[in-house]
Amino acid sequence: QRSVPAIDCSPALHLQGQTFEDTVMPLDANAVPDHIMAPATHFSKSRIWTGRIVSGMLVVLLAFDAVTKLIREPHVMAAATQMGLTVSAIVEIGAILSFCLAIYLIPRTALIGAILLTGYLGGATATNLILGQSSIACVFPVIVGVLVWLGLYFRDGRVASIWTARS
């Protein structure tokens, strides 16, 4: 009967005389493109204000939508019931939208907020398509989603650095 030799899985076996530090690529600022390390901060004031205005208008629109769901406004509840949604589902949707907006409003987390709002608006588009709503009802959330990103593009260097072609 043969015995199975023990397998040595220690890092030293695989490094062949090298230390762990020798095998790890050092994090060097020169190794990462400048536009990723330091997002563009040379935006004109008019560009930044354009982004703030576009984002601000969208936040007001979406905040109004969230509040009407949270306070169970009768017209919203009637429309939701007609679509087959329960009152509790509409309140939960309002809470989700409020959370996404809060994340979008914080400058450090605005990028994550835009991603969350894109998902929220994608769900609105899908719901409208499934229920056979009018074309404008199906396209409106898509337009709002594009404006969410456009406002962020104008005011945030991280988004601009992703979309701006670099040579």
Tell me: the pLDDT tens digits for 52-76?
999 999 999 999 999 999 999 999 9
Q: Which amino acid is at 6?
A: A
CA gap 66, 129 in Å, rounded: 21
Those residues whose C-beta lies under 8 Å from the C-beta of residue 54, and which sit 6 or more positions away, are 147, 150, 151, 154
Tell me: the pLDDT tens digits for 138-167?
999 999 999 999 999 999 888 888 776 654
Note the pTM of the prediction, 2 decimals: 0.71
Of 141, 162, 167, which is closest to residue 58 (Cα–Cα)? Answer: 141
